[in-house]
Structure 1
């Protein structure tokens, strides 16, 4: 009986944290960083007390860090199948770009929430962004070792690609065609990375 109670409590805690994070994403996306108060989050989440938030997150920065982790995890889950299905490294790069653009177009609330956190200057850890860059560096270095990518600074190229995708996010949220955006980015980074014949 004790195991079931412990499991039920863990599920309930996880569900409440998910509810709070989802409401925070909504408030950030719709109202902006300055208006993302515990009162606003409670209103959207249907919570009776701000203490329910502070019980699960000791500070607002901890909550915002969890929002960043959640958005990164959701993006990774959405992108992973396409990247894994691509056979060759240039194909994986194209799948990374296309699936990231598709995620942004499909989840503008996630993107707006992250933008608000960044623009608001919240003190949150950067390991998610660092992890995304590190995965791109590994992809570029593998392509260079295999001879399918030219020699270039892999870290610089990874940072430039992330910045390009982040810059396109504003256009996608504004209604730009995701296929057109993905196609342009894929062409640009194919030209930037390929070995000249």
Structure 2
């Protein structure tokens, strides 16, 4: 006799519904763009019976879009972080950061298109997420400077330059640019820009 499945408790059910709505929003943003991403469109895509289910879980469209960005950033971090941690010194970590970021973009075009739609339409990002990512990258540059692997430069400015470059290259990657070629060119560029 098969055991009766145990129903999810309310918190798990709520979290599962939120994740379903966020995933549907990512897919609608990628397919229809920012203006086409209405609660009606999300509801239809997710197979929800009413758009009130979206309103129940998210106070506003901005809150929903902030969760979309947070999910993509979390997924990117989960992909990149173990690779960066496993890399050797700061120069190797920088190269791994670039390669793994480019790989993530190339492997997740729907997520990246969704975030681009949000960014291009000036919707708010999660509080502090961009600053935190830049701070972590700047700290990598500072570690490289302290270790003598990197020259003296403004770590925050270099972090901003690298992020802006990767964000710009993302559009080309989505249009078919070879990810390996792009990653190696960026690794070479930022190695030359940072090395002693």
Q: With structure 1 as the length reference, what TM-score do the two structures score?
A: 0.94
1:46-61 equivalent positions in 2, closer than 5 A: 46-61=47-62
Once the two structures are superposed, what CA deviation does each residue of 1:160-190 show, in whole Å capped at 9, x if it has no partner? 0000000110110001100000000000000
The TM-score with structure 2 as length reference comes to: 0.94
Which residue pairs with 1:98 in the alignment? 99
Runs of 4+ in 1 over 4 A off after TM superposition: none
Q: Alignment partner of 1:121: what SS?
A: coil
Higher share in helix: 1
Alignment pair present for 1:68 and 2:74:
no
Structure 1: unaligned runs, 5 residues or longer: none
**2:113 corresponds to 1:123:** no
Inter-CA distance 124–83: structure 2 relative to 1 (3 Å threshold): closer
Shift of 1:130: 1.3
Residue ranges of structure 2 left out of the alignment (5+ in a row): 1-5
Q: Distance in 1 between matches of 2:113 and 2:34?
A: 10
Query: What is the aligned partner in structure 2 of residue 136 from structure 1?
Result: 137
Partner of 2:85: 84
Separation in structure 2 between the aligned mates of residue 21 and residue 139 of structure 1, nearest angstrom:
31
Against the structure 1 CA distance between its residues 191 and 126, is the aligned structure 2 distance closer, same or farther, given a 3 Å change threshold?
farther
8 Å CA contact retained: 2:70, 2:126: no
| C-alpha deviation, 1:98, in angstroms | 0.2
Corresponding residue number in structure 1 for 2:11: 10
Please, what is the CA RMSD of the aligned residues? 1.3
Between the aligned partners of 1:148 and 1:65, the Cα distance in structure 2 is 37
CA separation in 2, counterparts of 1:123 and 1:70? 14
Tell me how many residue pairs correspond in the alignment: 191
- Within a 5 Å distance, the mapping from 1:134-173 to structure 2 comes to 134-173=135-174
CA distance in 1, matches of 2:23, 2:121: 19
